[in-house]
Amino acid sequence: MSLGPVMLDVQGLTLSAIERERLKHPLVGGVILFARNYQSPEQVESLVRDIHGLRTPRLLVAVDHEGGRVQRFRDGFTSLPPLRHLGNIYDENPKRARRLAETSGWLMATELRAVDVDFSFAPVLDLDRGVSQVIGDRAFHSLPEAVADLAHAYMHGMHRAGMAATGKHFPGHGAVEADSHVALPVDDRLLVDIMAEDVVPFERMIHYGLEGIMPAHVIFTCVDTQPAGFSSTWIRKILRGQLEFQGVVFSDDLSMEGAKGAGNVVARAKLALSAGCDMVLVCNDPAAADQVLAGLGHYDDPVSHLRLVRMHGRENPTRDLLALDQAYLDAVRAVTGIA
């Protein structure tokens, strides 16, 4: 059985019988974990082992673990600072900031790999324009070249830990005030301005070997009437064609308010996949998940299958060995000292 194009969530600290059957559906390819799924490193490691054991190839297990406001696992994991703190250091000492960015990426990834989580949806490549509260200090910097520089180092650290990187939110969420979790943001800027500024970090990171990208639930009126994640112009023409991205395109959560203009949840999933997404996320709504699995129909894209299996984690250190690893202890000190 290959990996399907749908990523779902689960409700608690362990899998229910219904969830086990749902995750065995051939259209399912991954699971995203949230804070409600976390109690301790031992518990989440057991949960991930259970999920991985359901299928061959094993389902992808992902989490949003950026640091700052967006870090799902807390007790037992290093408290990661917001990425913007690295940008502040960059303004004073770019070399030190790059070194700390690589260390931060490695530390984030190696702690997740130690509980066998395949990847985090990171890093954020949006620009901190001082407009979007939902982005804000989740972004490295306001300058495209600075974001690209720091994100490159951060990704290098993730790769050293055996984790693929996913940049978000293409082509950029930083210029709109509305939060796509609760509204549909609209960006009226010219395409030439978006390409010259917001797209630059994505373009650089694609060149550096970025494995995944998540489009924004934002309408860019100069390009399409659909949000970027449902737009074949953004995904197939610009991202795949012009920028030559060959990795995985993940939709943002189809249950978010910014996605609901595309129709019911089945219509959203079909539209996102037809626009060029390889995997769609359906979160926080088990009924919607069942509707997608029942209504999506037969789906088989061999190219997407190959892209998705590359998102599996590689190195898998044990937590006991990490606790004795001087490089790990030094990284913890360095990263916790950033704030």
Eight-state DSSP code of residue 274: H
- What residues pair up with 186 in beta bridges, in sequence order? 219
257 or 327, higher pLDDT: 327
Say how far apart CA 235 and CA 271 lie, in whole Å: 12
Say how far apart CA 4 and CA 239 lie, in whole Å: 22
Distance of CA 200 to the CA centre of its chain: 18
> 252 an active-site residue?
yes
Full-model pTM: 0.95
Eight-state DSSP code of residue 230: G
- What residues pair up with 170 in beta bridges, in sequence order? 215
- pLDDT at residue 197 is higher than 90: yes
Say how far apart CA 30 and CA 59 lie, in whole Å: 5
| Confidence band, pLDDT 50/70/90 cuts, at residue 258 | low
Annotated catalytic residue: which of 156, 179, 181, 305?
181
pLDDT of residue 153: 98
> 181 an active-site residue?
yes
pLDDT of residue 222: 96
Beta strands at 70-71 and 65-67: parallel, antiparallel or unpaired: antiparallel
**Count of beta carbons in the 10 Å neighbourhood of residue 186:** 12
Which whole-number Å values give the CA distances from 13 to 35, 219, 237, in the listed order? 10, 36, 41
144 or 297, higher pLDDT: 144
Could you tell me the sign of the dihedral formed by the alpha carbons of 149, 152, 158, 163, in that order? Answer: positive
Share of the chain above pLDDT 90, in %: 88
Q: What is the mean pLDDT of residues 150-168?
A: 98
| 6-28+35-336 fold | TIM Barrel (3.20.20)
Beta strands at 248-253 and 212-215: parallel, antiparallel or unpaired: parallel
Annotated catalytic residue: which of 252, 253, 278, 312?
252
Say how far apart CA 10 and CA 257 lie, in whole Å: 20
| Confidence band, pLDDT 50/70/90 cuts, at residue 299 | confident
User: What pLDDT digit, counting tens, does each position of 74-118 carry?
Assistant: 999 999 999 999 999 999 999 999 999 999 999 999 999 999 999
- Please list, in sequence order, all residues whose beta carbon lies within 8 angstroms of the beta carbon of residue 207, skipping any fewer than 6 positions away: none
pLDDT of residue 34: 98
**Count of beta carbons in the 10 Å neighbourhood of residue 202:** 27
Tell me what percent of the chain is helix, strand and coil, each rounded to the nearest 5.
45, 15, 40
- Residue 199 token pair: 């797209």
DSSP letters for 207-229? HHT--EEEE-S-EETTT-SSBGG
